[in-house]
Every structure is written in C-alpha cells, then in structure tokens.
Structure 1
Amino acid sequence: MRFWALATGGLLVWAAHFLGLYLLASVADVARDDAGAWRGAGLAFSLACLVVAAGLGLNAFIRSRARSDDATHGFGLALQAGAAVIGGIGVVFQTMVLLAPA
C-alpha cells in the first residue's frame, strides 16, 4: 500500500488541493465578509500543497540516486516523480483563478 501511496502521492495532493479550494470558495461565498482574507487562505493552502508535491518529487529524486536493482522500485520512483510534477502543475493552474482580478 505504501508503494502506491508514494507513487501516486502527487496526484493525491492535486485532488486534495482541488477539494480544499472548492471548500474554501464555498465557505467564502456563504460568509461574504472579506474576499481578500479568503483569497489569502486559498493562496496559503495552495503554497502548502505545492511544497508537499515538491517534497514528493525531491524524495523520488533522492531515492533514485541510491543504487537499486529492483525494477519495481525504479518504476515506483519514476511514477512518483511524474505524479509529483503533474500534481504540481495542476496545483499551479488551479491557483491561477485566485490571482485573477475580481
């Protein structure tokens, strides 16, 4: 289970980011107090998700530098690095909505 959790970790971060921003936008719509504060909370959450995705990619890179003859291990690390890159790109593009003028 740990293999698949790490291998698809970047995609899981992307999914959690989507859900988190959706929930923040829903609460901000109901609260209607200060749009700037909700936008700031969304940006902080996006930054945290981007740091986690970058950490997963860095983890895969560091672990791939250690020699291992196990093909499954190498495949998992390549999958983890790819999912971290795709997840990071997804987080950035979802965050662009917060940066657009209202």
Structure 2
Amino acid sequence: MSNTTEFKKWYSESFKKFEESLNGETKLPLHQTRKTALEEFQNAKFPTVKDEEWKYTNVSSLLNHKFVDVIGKSFDNGNVDLEKYLFNKEKLLHNSIH
C-alpha cells in the first residue's frame, strides 16, 4: 500500500471515529459539508513538486508523519494557568493586559 493510500485511509478511519462521537450532530448541515470535504479529499490526487501549483511546496513529509487521533482521549492540563488566556468579558482584553 502506498504512503498516499495509507494517509488517506487514516483520515477516513479517523473521520468515522469522529462521526461516532457526534450523536445527533450528524444530521446538521455542517456535517454534510464535512462529508463532502472528505470525499473530495479522498478523490484528489496528492500534490507533488511536479504539479505546477505545488512546485515550490514539497508536502511529501506529511505522508511520513504519524498523526495521532485525539477522538475519545482526555486532556490533562496539569497545572497550566488558563486564566491568563481568558478574555475580560466587559472590555474584551487579555487578562494579562491592565
């Protein structure tokens, strides 16, 4: 199996897991857009530097990268101070700016 085929297969399988986590949201119009986008991705030829529009952008390293599916996994933020990333609701300013 080629790297491109494996790459596309991984995204297809990840999308199926994602769909299973959506419950009733699969009936929303946004989900149909997602499905259409995945179909277009599956049917598209993976670009190479031989393609005129991509000749200066080598994306072949994406085929070698092992992405991790995060569906169903929890995130442990440990001791991260999330307050500094929150916005002031009244002034819409970053909390660290006073």
TM category (shorter chain) comes to 0.3 to 0.5
| Structure having the higher Rg | 2
Give the structure, 1 or 2, with the largest relative contact order (CA under 8 Å, sep 6 or more). Answer: 1
**What is the TM-score of this pair, normalised by structure 1?**
0.34
